[in-house]
Amino acid sequence: MKVERVSYDVITPSAARGILEAIHWKPAIRWHIDRIHVLKPIRFESIRRNEVGGKLSPASVAKAMKAGSTAGLATFVDEDRQQRAATVLRGVRYLIEAHFELTDRAGPDNSVGKHLDIFNRRARKGQCFHAPCLGVREFPASFELLEEGVPLPEPAPGVEANKDLGWMLHDIDFSDGMTPRFFRARMQGGVIEVPPWQAGEVKA
Amino acid sequence: MTAIAHRYEFVYLFDVTNGNPNGDPDAGNLPRLDPETNRGLVTDVALKRKIRNFVTLDKEGGPGYAIYMQEKAVLNNQHKRAYDALEIKPEDKKLPKDEARAREVTAWMCANFFDVRTFGAVMTTGVNAGQVRGPVQLGFATSIEPVLPLEISITRMAVTTEKEAEAQSGDNRTMGRKHILPYGLYRAHGFVSAKLAERTGFSGDDLQLLWRALINMFEHDRSAARGEMAARKLIVFEHQSAMGDAPAHVLFDTVRVARATDEDRPARSFADYRISVDAEALPRGVGVREYL
């Protein structure tokens, strides 16, 4: 469902990872999402917008670079228009539990503690590399660090505690030619346990 | 052109009087409404379109300010644009050739096109380096209070085709419809990431141009459908560091828009609202400036 976008019922582990990476990420670490707590009822609404159909082809840029002029390099919005509806979630709130591990690009001066401190410091202060978003960039995400020892937030009334969400994107495997991998998402007590990336139940 | 070194957030207030700020293609061009709250919406892309159009008019496609996503309506600059050829050296010779090439292409696009440098663009390349994420991000604008669209019927003293004229036996008239909002004050939030600006070369001059565009863009976007639209407030938060010093939502919460007049009566002008910025509540290290 890409042409008329329809959101999943909840945030995917992939999107949650993107939010964490917007706050802190280095090639030396890789985030893993452990649990996603759904704190607000799942509700949808539809938005239709004018969008552009095509993408910019590098060949045409190369031609313009050779010619040394930007003339003729443009997309005319009204000739390449698509009206696409998006069925989006509204009023969402999640709690993401995650950890990271060091990758093989970690040097000797990279330790888990160091990166964890950086992340916590940034999340506490509201610092971020770029504003994290909820799926697409027009929906910015507000974030707060849940400090240790602070009780978990209570889900809002009306949250379905148990629901089978079907097959859902876990993440994209960038090392294997961008193949998406999926897992069976089940919400139990408002919490989705995300299987580890290497687990057998995560299927391409 | 050095990239900006601070993170910014901004609150942008604009209003519409007897016009349609952003039609909904799903609802026969009625002004967009949030069905649950009846508040009006203006999409992020509608605002970006106006920013692009303003920059086109302001810079007339001067070097470094070409606009990639164009509307025909503003193509009055048919003259060959002056242009400074760029000598781009890929930063890292060790990269595989196609990736270096892709970077070159991306860098060239960023240097020449304001909208690519500001909002980003997707370029299809085999490697995933052809996507530019721009530093500037806008959310949807929402009206402060619920709005009530009116449907205005209008007549035209002419018809389009012979056939219509015959059908009306010479009484050449047609009816049309306009959808307007009597009044609506909208609030949009925006973000500028210094870190992404480093990657696209979004500079201090570009930032000033963005503020100018936000302040003036409705002045060049008059049309029968829009009615009277005006930028009313642009409140910019500047963090000391590139990463920022406070959560964005905390900053946005310091800007309050309240009714200055009786809340039970519908607002019909900007004077019905009172805007206050709670400078006391600002976290340390964040400056606030009202550009409008």
| Interchain pair B25, A127: CB under 8 A | no
Q: Which residues of B touch A145 (CB under 8 A)?
A: none
- Interface residue A57 vs chain B (CB under 8 A): yes
Amino acid identity at B263: E
Residue with token string 């925006």 = B190
What does the pLDDT read at residue B97?
58
Q: CB atoms < 10 A from the CB of B120, how many?
A: 19
What does the pLDDT read at residue A119?
94
Q: d(Cα B187, Cα B128) in Å, to the nearest integer?
A: 35
- Interface residue B122 vs chain A (CB under 8 A): yes
Q: Catalogue the long-range contacts made by B34-39 (C-beta closer than 8 Å, 24 or more residues apart).
A: B34/A45, B34/B142, B35/A45, B36/A45, B36/A90, B37/B146, B38/B146, B38/B147, B38/B148, B39/B142, B39/B143, B39/B144, B39/B145, B39/B146, B39/B147
What does the pLDDT read at residue B130?
56
Q: Which residues of B touch A142 (CB under 8 A)?
A: 247-249
Q: How many contacts (CB atoms, under 8 Å) link A and B?
A: 137
Query: Which residues 202-261 of B are in CB contact (within 8 Å) with A?
Result: 241, 243-250
H helices of chain B, where? 44-59, 97-112, 114-119, 162-167, 194-200, 204-216, 248-253
Number of domains chain B is built from: 1
What does the pLDDT read at residue A159?
86
pLDDT band per the 50, 70, 90 thresholds, residue A95 = very high
Task: State how far residue A175 is from chain B, nearest Cα, in angstroms.
Answer: 12
DSSP state of B64: T
- Interface residue B62 vs chain A (CB under 8 A): no
- Interface residue B85 vs chain A (CB under 8 A): yes
CB-nearest partner of B105 from A51, A61, A128: A61
- Sort strands B273-277 and B255-259 into parallel, antiparallel or unpaired: antiparallel
Contact residues for B193 (Cβ-Cβ < 8 A; gap 6+): A128, A129, A130, A131, B7, B135, B137
Answer whether residue A8 shows pLDDT above 50. yes
What does the pLDDT read at residue B73?
44
Q: d(Cα B118, Cα A81) in Å, to the nearest integer?
A: 21
Amino acid identity at A86: A
Two tokens, residue B228: 């009277």
Residue with token string 């141009």 = B209
- E strand or H helix that includes residue B30: strand B30-31
| Domains and their CATH numbers in chain A | 5-43+90-154 (3.30.70.2660), 50-83 (no CATH)
Residue B42 domain flag: yes
- Interface residue B130 vs chain A (CB under 8 A): yes
- Interface residue A83 vs chain B (CB under 8 A): yes
Residue B284 domain flag: yes
- Mutation target for B interface from A70, A125, A138: give the one with most B CBs within 10 A: A70
Residue with token string 């228009």 = A81
Task: State how far residue A140 is from chain B, nearest Cα, in angstroms.
Answer: 7
- Mutation target for B interface from A56, A128, A142: give the one with most B CBs within 10 A: A56
| Interchain pair B244, A61: CB under 8 A | no
Q: What is the pLDDT of residues A70-84, one digit of tens each?
A: 766 777 777 778 888
**Residue B227 · residue B18 · CB < 8 Å:** yes
**For chain A, percent of residues with pLDDT exceeding 90:** 50
Amino acid identity at B94: K
Residue with token string 């917007």 = A22
Residue B54 domain flag: yes
SS3 (DSSP) at B81: coil
**Residue B132 · residue B146 · CB < 8 Å:** no
Q: Which residues of B touch A175 (CB under 8 A)?
A: none
Q: CB atoms < 10 A from the CB of B191, how many?
A: 23
What does the pLDDT read at residue B98?
65
What does the pLDDT read at residue B95?
41
**Residue A103 · residue A31 · CB < 8 Å:** no
| Interchain pair B248, A126: CB under 8 A | yes
- Interface residue A122 vs chain B (CB under 8 A): yes
Q: Which residues of A touch B245 (CB under 8 A)?
A: 125-127
Q: Which residues pair with A17 in a beta bridge?
A: none
Q: What is the pLDDT of residues A166-186, one digit of tens each?
A: 999 999 888 777 788 899 999
- Interface residue B118 vs chain A (CB under 8 A): no
Residue B216 domain flag: yes
Q: Which domain holds residue B73?
A: 8-151+178-291
Low-confidence ranges of chain B (pLDDT < 50): 73-96, 126-129
Q: d(Cα B220, Cα B214) in Å, to the nearest integer?
A: 11
User: Quick one: CA dihedral B109, B115, B120, B121, positive or negative?
Assistant: negative
**CA of B43: how far to CAs of A69, A165, B6, B132, B154, in Å?**
32, 29, 26, 21, 27
Residue with token string 């200055």 = B260
Task: State how far residue A151 is from chain B, nearest Cα, in angstroms.
Answer: 21
User: Quick one: CA dihedral B1, B3, B8, B12, positive or negative?
Assistant: positive
Secondary structure (DSSP) of chain A: -TTTEE--SS--HHHHHHHHHHHS--TTEEEEEEEEEE-S---EEEEEEEEE---B-HHHHHHHHHHT--TT--EEGGGSEEEEEEEEE-S--EEEEEEEEE-TT--TT--HHHHHHHHHHHHHHT--SS--EESEEEEE-------TTSPPPPPPTT--S-EEEEEEEEEEEGGGTTEEEEEEEEEETTEEEPPPTT-TT-B-
- Mutation target for A interface from B38, B56, B98, B109: give the one with most A CBs within 10 A: B109
Q: Catalogue the long-range contacts made by A69-73 (C-beta closer than 8 Å, 24 or more residues apart).
A: A69/B80, A69/B81, A69/B83, A70/B61, A70/B66, A70/B81, A70/B83, A70/B112, A70/B113, A71/B80, A71/B81, A73/B66, A73/B68
Tell me if the pTM is above 0.75: yes
Residue B165 domain flag: no
Amino acid identity at B233: K
| Interchain pair B241, A69: CB under 8 A | no
